[in-house]
Chains A and B, each alone.
Chain A
Amino acid sequence: MNGPRSRKTGRTVKTGLLLVTFGFVVALVAFALSGFDQLGAIAAEQEVAADAAAASPYGPAPKLTAADYPSIAGINSRVAVWIFAQLHLWFAAFVLAVPIFVFIIEAIGMRTRDKRYDDMAYEFIKVSITAYSLTAVLGGALLFSLILFYPHLFTYLSTIFKESMIYYALLFFAESAALYIYYYGWHWLQGGFKKWVHLTLGLVLNAVGTTLMLLANSWLTFMMSPAGVDAAGVFSGDAWAAIHNFLWNPINIHRFVANIAYGGSIVGAYAAFKFLTATTKQERAHYDWMGYNANFIAICALLPLPFAGYYLAAEIYAYSQQMGITLMGGIFAWLFIIQAVLIGTLFLSANYYLWCGMGRSDGAKRYTKYIKYIAIVLVGAFLVWFTPHTLVLTNEELKALGGPYHKYLGPLGIMPAKNTAVNVMIIFTALSFMFYRRANKIATVSWVNAGNAIQVALYTAGIANILFLGIYHGYFTNTVYKVAASIPQVLTTLIVIVGSITLDSFIYRGGKQVGPLHWGRIPGRAQYALFLLAVSFTWLMGLMGYIRSGIRQHWHVVDIMRDASPDAFTPTLGYAANVVSVAAIIFMAMVIFVFWIAQVSGNKTLPAGYWKE
């Protein structure tokens, strides 16, 4: 590197860092303000309330009857709201997630000065820009259907959240502005200082987007764990208390992580389709690479997701035991079997994609012999995870077993076995990934054998610890340890993953490449694994939306505002699955439209003799 260039780079880096810091501060302030302003508004309101003395400006939650719900012949109002909400959520999750990893990829591109990253980041954001307007349209449709079919619920919620709804609208403008400048200014804001400005814009975009999600989350968590209101539903005037309700943060974390995984999977499906329809070798290589990166993002977010889910479930239990039992026992117990099938599908297809991807490297042969063992463990762990607590038995089997309980399969139906299985699955997925990373590399450090031995020891000890915790604490101690054992299990998993990746990065520091990676050398089947990932993810989100909403049972706002509509009953799993499936198909059709629109702008038709020469 020559002198002047590096000096210039140094200056740019400094300015850039400053800008990013500034952007971050702006974002933080914006976020804090959204809280403080409410505090101000609240203070003012409290004064008003004090003036009005006994007469509270807020009434109790209305007590409704079936007549309070407008209906339109031929339209089931709950299903309409359900589908609009679900579609809105899918698109929102996608458009909020994409800028997060576009930001990261752009930063990686700036760091490595590899233009491919920048092009890929641009292509990702291009995909999400059409989806963005659809998100807004669907949000409007949801709002409209809510006002139309559930006017009293909407009125009640909007009296409590009126300030945050205004901020929501304002932030939406900010989000649009940031997104459009970020997207349309991509090629303009290139190089040196301008690039840093662009990255900062990306950060602001993410900050605004995340704040939007947090606000929207507060409304739905308020319905699950109302706060800031008394037992009759009279609002205290403290909007922050209503927003910062008990389940707000658990949902925030779960959704944030899941959105990234979801966004990755959708972009992966996009890349997979482009790969399958690519005509040139370069194109195939490009979209293979893009698909790999999208899958990588999805897996990275997928690994911690079960833990975020357990945290959310534990918090629901802590908030209300009644709600917790509704969630985990009784009718919803079977939902978790469906969930197990879906998450198993996610893990299996993600692994399959990695294994197929090993064909890109000529050095992979050294590791492929282990794949079948990984597959055996993954499938085995999955079968344990999937085994239901209540077995479906024919009468003959019932007689043969002497009861509905199975001596050997029964113990697999309870939580400790499932925690153990999911931790093992995560560790082995990480192992798959490690083999993939190693496939094209040869270590040159002198202590490579010792290093490998430590890796083996790390994995062995980790798995042994997980099994011990699961089996000993799960079956030979009382409940408090059963539940508590899941925490050291998770920690073990995290330590093994982080430890092995760190160690590997040292082992392969300065290592040789076996040969160039053959991007594009991957079977078409692997692309279907990416489709499977995206479809399963979409459907799973819909299913979990049903249970999240379903545990409120016949309440609009739990214990405060009762759902008196004819649709207050909890639907069966099959019914919910059908609604989710229909919504997923609609979503798919819309996504195809979005992708088609994204590429149609590149098409040019030259009509001969149409225009005056």
Chain B
Amino acid sequence: MRQFLSVIVFSLLTIGFFAGYSNFGIPQIEPAPPPKEEKLDLGSMTMDQFIAVGEKLFSGKGTCTLCHNNLGRAPLLDTIGEVAQQRLKDPRYKGEATNIEEYLIESLVKPSAFVVAGFGKKGTNDAESPMPDVSGGSIRLDEAEITAVVAYLQDSSGAEVTVEIPKDLGKKKEGGEEADVAEAEPREAISDPEKLIAMFTCDACHMINGVGGEIGPDLSKIGALRNRDYLRRSILDPNADIAEGFEPDQMPEGMGEQLYVSELEVLVSFLAGLK
């Protein structure tokens, strides 16, 4: 028994020495806690994650990179932080912003507040911007998403990120687009094709009656070239046919979810009549 006890004591002392050395002989470094998971829970999001969300929107849902790229369709935004400061003092500036953040938000929802020389809608002498309002039309960024894009723009252009991560909008964002649609008040059907084109900013990319952008095919005489079925299909499924000389995946999908059937027919009839 004595042997047994001394062996036990010896073993316990050995374990005690190892444990003691591990606890007191070496520095106890507290490992960093696990990084926060990147989910769209705005409440617990860090600014870096919020900026990353903005970056995704910038090249994804926001379709900003369609034009703001190095092909010269729209101004590059890599120095927008610095440039915005000068814009505010520019005599041609028509908006109400007083700082960079406000200017950027304004540019996203009221693009014509300042049009960079040479980038205006054709024939408006740079008075009107071809850029659509990103909160409406087919892009439909919500307020939180616009804030995220602004955060990304500030961050990527080297400006100080001044936006605050919205707290109360978190829930709405998580619900996604479907929730948006469901919550939105049903609107009145529109029967004026010009209004529809303005609402969905088709002329941001398409030339219609000599006015509009050059990203999509010129629709000024489309009725002479294509029949109604083709036009309907192209609105509902933009990648079904790609006009020669144009890239696929440029036109936003989902028009079918946003237009009423009567409106679709109004548009198709209008386009078919352009000869």
Q: Which residues of A contact B (CB under 8 A)?
A: 273, 276-277, 330-331, 334, 337-338, 341-342, 388, 392, 528, 531-532, 535-536, 539, 543, 553-554, 562-564, 568-574, 576-578, 580-581, 584-585, 588
Contacts and interface: CB of A to CB of B under 8 A. Distances in A.
Which 4 A/B pairs are nearest by Cβ-Cβ distance?
A554-B34, A577-B22, A574-B23, A570-B31
Given A338-B18, A553-B34, A573 B28 contact: yes
Interface of A is mostly: helix
A578 B19 contact: yes
Contacts of B14: 531-532, 535-536, 539
Query: Chain B: interface residue count, which band?
Result: 20 to 34
Contacts of A588: 8, 11
B91 interface: no
13 contacts: A341-B18, A532-B14, A536-B18, A553-B34, A562-B37, A572-B30, A573-B28, A573-B29, A574-B23, A574-B24, A577-B18, A580-B19, A588-B8
A578 B23 contact: yes
Contact of A569 (B7, B27, B34): B34
A531 B33 contact: no
Given A273-B3, A338-B26, A574-B28, A568 B34 contact: yes
Contacts of A388: 26
A563 to B, nearest CB: 7
Contacts, number: 83
- A392, A580, A581 pick with most chain B CB within 10 angstroms: A581
Interface in B10-26: 10-12, 14-16, 18-19, 21-24, 26
Interface of B: 3-4, 7-8, 10-12, 14-16, 18-19, 21-24, 26-31, 33-35, 37
Contacts of B11: 531, 535, 588
A553 B21 CA distance: 24
Nearest to A338: B22
A573 B14 CA distance: 18
Contacts of A577: 18-19, 22-23
Given A341-B21, A554-B35, A569-B34, A585 B15 contact: yes
A539 B26 contact: no
B10 A334 contact: no
Given A273-B3, A341-B18, 9 more contacts: A273-B7, A277-B4, A331-B29, A338-B21, A338-B22, A341-B21, A528-B10, A532-B14, A563-B34
Contacts of B24: 574
B15 A535 contact: yes
Contacts of A574: 22-24, 28
B18 A581 contact: yes
Given A531-B10, A532-B14, A392 B27 contact: yes
A110 B37 CA distance: 62
Nearest to B23: A574
A334 B27 contact: yes
Contacts of B7: 273, 276, 528, 531
Given A554-B34, A585-B12, A334 B26 contact: yes
Nearest to A539: B18
Contacts of A528: 7, 10
